[in-house]
Structure 1
Amino acid sequence: MNPLLQQIQHGGVIGAGGAGFPTYVKLDCQVELVLANGAECEPLLYKDQVLMQRWGKELCGGMLIAMKQVGAARGVIGIKKKNADTIACLQAQLPSGIELLLMEDVYPAGDEVELVYQATGKRIPSGGLPKEIGVMVNNIESFINVFHAAQGIPVTETMITVHGEVRQPYTAWLPIGLSYREAIELAGDITSRDFIVVEGGPMMGSVTDNLDKPITKISSGLLVLPRSSRIATIKMRSEQNLRRIGKAACDQCSMCTSMCPRNLLGYPVKPHLAMRSLQVSGANNLSYALAAQACCECNLCTMWSCPEGLDPSRVCATTKRALRDEQKLLSPAQLQANTTEVHPLRDYRGVPTKRLVRRLELADYAQTKAEFRECELRVNRLYIPLSQHIGRPAVAVVKVGDRVSKGQLIGQPAPDALSVAVHASRDGIVVEVGESIVIDCQH
């Protein structure tokens, strides 16, 4: 591994806001195009806009470092046309070799496959990776973290949007290991008596009522919503119920497939057939179940398309899990063989974000932008997980009683494995070492 990739690995850089794939591995390739995903199509989230407006120099610096590493002569930042203030900020400081891709305000414009297609006119092979068509994609915060890591500054904070049933929605840098409770308290009083928290965006995020969970490197948003809201009701259905109701109520109208962004690009995903698999057993079941494998779980079918209020997205997710457990998944080559041409009506079936916001019952919240805030925190304890990324957890290099300072290495990458380092996000004393390292910051 070359010195730059080692710096990025030991700086703890991963995909911020996604699945948490280690960035040093993504940069270990040779491609023609480096693509920064600034589409930010999840309603209410504002973190990428803040980052591009205020840390544009670092973003471009990180992209240039990545471009040199992968041998790319061209860099592109994907951003929606509606974000005129952000566009103006970026255009004033774009270096040679980096340009903007202005996108329509539709969901899911920020999906990696959609973004790559818009930037290049090429499709990532079904079941494949962007590098197979000469592209490397990362999100905005990850490129900023690459820039910092190249200067020896590790990842200790992440940009978070807190919104929903709170008095003062905000976006801010928050230390990794801070509890959801403390992050939400910074937004003032919670304005709902019975609420849940969506981790991430309202479309693809998951729900929790555990406010003691810690913020990690992949945290992007905390949305406080009433437990009775449409989003909470759908996301809190049990797997047993969603499959039982789907089996009884799906009338095979195929709207989920007709509006599926991946299907419109020609990928072999047909949510209505995955729903049909609930009703069919025996030999025919497998062919229907396999229609779920290429699903990206953008949730558009569930939150927008289905007239019955069913959950094709989670049916696809649970079906994929069953196929994986039974070792029945198709190979990438088989998936690619089933890929068809881009649908001729694709350009006319994008879902406008404003209409999606109304369907999600978020219009009242969307009237308030979660503006950037400088937060002065008095942190008591931080719970910093050693596993915040895809791959092996970091290995603790501190013990109970050690005094640590912000930025100090507390977990080194696991040897000979896909793994990245973890660092202290505030000064303090280590009081517990396990799956997480607990730091008392009051001393």
Structure 2
Amino acid sequence: MNPLLQQVQQGGVIGAGGAGFPTYVKLDCQVELVLANGAECEPLLYKDQVLMQRWARELCGGMLIAMKQVGAHRGVIGIKKKNTDTIACLQEQLPPGIELMLMNDVYPAGDEVELVFQATGKRIPAGGLPKDIGVMVNNVESFINVFRAAQGIPVTDTMVSVHGEVREPYTAWLPIGMSYREAIKLAGGTTCADFIVVEGGPMMGPVTDDLDKPITKVSSGLLVLPRSSRIARIKTRSDEDVRRIGKASCDQCSQCSSMCPRGLLGYPVKPHLAMRSLQVSGSNNLSYALAAQACCECNLCTMWSCPEGLDPSRVCATTKRALRDEQLLQTPAQLQASTTDVHPLREYRGVPTKRLIRRLELTDYAMRKAAFLDDEIRTERVVIPLSQHIGKPAQAIVQVGEQVKKGQMIGQPASDALSVAVHASINGVVVAVGSEIVIEKKPAVLNVSLPI
């Protein structure tokens, strides 16, 4: 492994856009284009805008480092046209070789496949990766972290937007391992009694009511929403209820497939056929179920398209899991063979974000921006998982009772495996070591000799 890749691995850099794929592996290729994803198409999130406005130099520096590593002569930052203040900040810092790609304000503009297609006019092969067509993609925060790792600065904090039913929504660098409870308390607390928390954006983020969960490297948003809200009602249904209701109620109108972003790009995904598979068995069931495999779970079919209020996205997700468990998934070659031409009406079927926000019943929240909180965030206790990324967990290299400093490596990458390091996010004492490392700030004990 060359020195840069080692720095990125040892620095704990992973995809900050949600998946958590180790960045050092992404950088181990040769491509023509490096693409930074700053589209931020999930409503209410503001983290990527803050990053591009305030850390544009580090973003461009990280891209240049990546471009040199992968042999690319062109870098592109994808950003929506509406973000004029961010665009102005970026234009002041753009070096030769890096340009902006201005995008319409539609969902899901930030989907990796959509982004690559707009930048290159090429489609990532079904079941393939961007590097298969000469592109390397990362979230803007990941490129900033690459820049820092090259300077010997590891990942200890992540940029998070806290919004929804809170008194003062904000966006800030939060220490990895800080609890959701503390992060929400920084927003002045909640403004409703019975709520759930969406981890990420309202479209794709899962929900939880466990406020003791820790912020991780892939955290991007904490959205506090009433349990009675449309988003909460949909996301808290059980898989069994989703499939039972879908089987009883789907009338095969095909609106989910007509509006499916991946389907419009020609990929072999048809949510209405996945819904049909709930009603049949045998060989027909398999052929219909296979129409779910290429689903990216953007949730547009559920949150926007379905007139019956059903959940085709979750049906696709559960169907994919069943296919995987039964070893019936198609190979990438089979998926690619089923790919068709881009739909001629694709560009007219993008869903405007403002209309999506209204459909999601988020309009009142969207009136308040989760502005950057420039204060130093302090916490007395962090719980840092050793597994925050795709691949094998890091291996603990500290012991209970050990004094650690912020930025110190506490978990080294697993040897000969896909893995990255983790680091202490505060100064303190290690109080527990397991699948998570718990660090607490403890006052120093003064050894004072009292007079006899």
What TM bracket, shorter-length normalisation? over 0.9
Q: Which residue of 2 aligns with 1:166?
A: 166
Q: Which residue of 1 aligns with 2:246?
A: 246
Matched-pair identity in %: 83
Partners of 1:436 and 1:46 in 2: how far apart? 29
Q: Which residue of 2 aligns with 1:328?
A: 328
Partners of 2:163 and 2:213 in 1: how far apart? 17
Q: Which amino acid aligns with 1:312?
A: P
Q: Which residue of 1 aligns with 2:110?
A: 110
**Tell me, what secondary structure is at the counterpart of 2:181?**
helix
Aligned 8 A contact 2:175 2:377 in 1: no
Matched, 1:229 2:233: no
Displacement of 1:17 in angstroms is: 2.9
Displacement of 1:124 in angstroms is: 0.2
Q: Which residue of 2 aligns with 1:25?
A: 25
Partners of 2:407 and 2:380 in 1: how far apart? 17
Partners of 2:365 and 2:164 in 1: how far apart? 6
Q: Which amino acid aligns with 1:129?
A: L
Displacement of 1:282 in angstroms is: 1.1
Q: Which amino acid aligns with 2:270?
A: K
Write the mapping of 1:187-198 to structure 2, written as runs, cut at 5 A: 187-198=187-198
Partners of 2:173 and 2:415 in 1: how far apart? 30
Partners of 2:242 and 2:136 in 1: how far apart? 37
Matched, 1:393 2:415: no
Q: Which residue of 2 aligns with 1:199?
A: 199
**Tell me, what secondary structure is at the counterpart of 1:278?**
helix
**Tell me, what secondary structure is at the counterpart of 1:192?**
coil
Describe the superposition over 1:154-179 as per-residue Cα deviations: whole angstroms up to 9, x where unpaired: 00000000000001000000000000
Partners of 2:372 and 2:274 in 1: how far apart? 42
Q: Which residue of 2 aligns with 1:53?
A: 53
Q: Which runs of 5+ in 1 are unaligned?
A: none
Q: Which residue of 2 aligns with 1:354?
A: 354
Partners of 1:377 and 1:161 in 2: how far apart? 14
Describe the superposition over 1:337-365 as per-residue Cα deviations: whole angstroms up to 9, x where unpaired: 00000000001000000000000000000
Partners of 2:442 and 2:15 in 1: how far apart? 31
Matched, 1:65 2:65: yes
Give the total of aligned pairs: 443
Aligned 8 A contact 2:406 2:423 in 1: yes
Q: Which amino acid aligns with 1:412?
A: Q
Displacement of 1:441 in angstroms is: 1.6
Aligned 8 A contact 1:299 1:313 in 2: yes
Partners of 1:442 and 1:70 in 2: how far apart? 45
Matched, 1:419 2:431: no
Partners of 1:385 and 1:25 in 2: how far apart? 21
Q: TM-score, normalised by structure 1?
A: 1.00
Displacement of 1:377 in angstroms is: 3.3
Matched, 1:219 2:196: no
Displacement of 1:89 in angstroms is: 0.5
Moved over 6 A (4+): none
Describe the superposition over 1:198-233 as per-residue Cα deviations: whole angstroms up to 9, x where unpaired: 000000000000000000000000000000000000
Q: In terms of Rg, which structure is larger?
A: 2
Partners of 1:384 and 1:374 in 2: how far apart? 23
Partners of 2:209 and 2:180 in 1: how far apart? 10
Describe the superposition over 1:218-263 as per-residue Cα deviations: whole angstroms up to 9, x where unpaired: 0000000000000000000001100000000000000000000000
Displacement of 1:90 in angstroms is: 0.3
**Tell me, what secondary structure is at the counterpart of 2:279?**
coil
Displacement of 1:102 in angstroms is: 0.1
**Tell me, what secondary structure is at the counterpart of 1:354?**
helix
**Tell me, what secondary structure is at the counterpart of 1:389?**
coil
Q: Which residue of 2 aligns with 1:293?
A: 293
Displacement of 1:18 in angstroms is: 1.4
Partners of 2:376 and 2:64 in 1: how far apart? 32
Partners of 1:87 and 1:178 in 2: how far apart? 31
**Tell me, what secondary structure is at the counterpart of 1:429?**
strand
Aligned 8 A contact 2:391 2:418 in 1: yes
Aligned 8 A contact 1:432 1:438 in 2: yes
Partners of 2:356 and 2:264 in 1: how far apart? 18
Q: Which runs of 5+ in 2 are unaligned?
A: 444-452
Partners of 1:432 and 1:415 in 2: how far apart? 23
Matched, 1:89 2:84: no
Partners of 1:51 and 1:100 in 2: how far apart? 15
Partners of 1:149 and 1:160 in 2: how far apart? 20
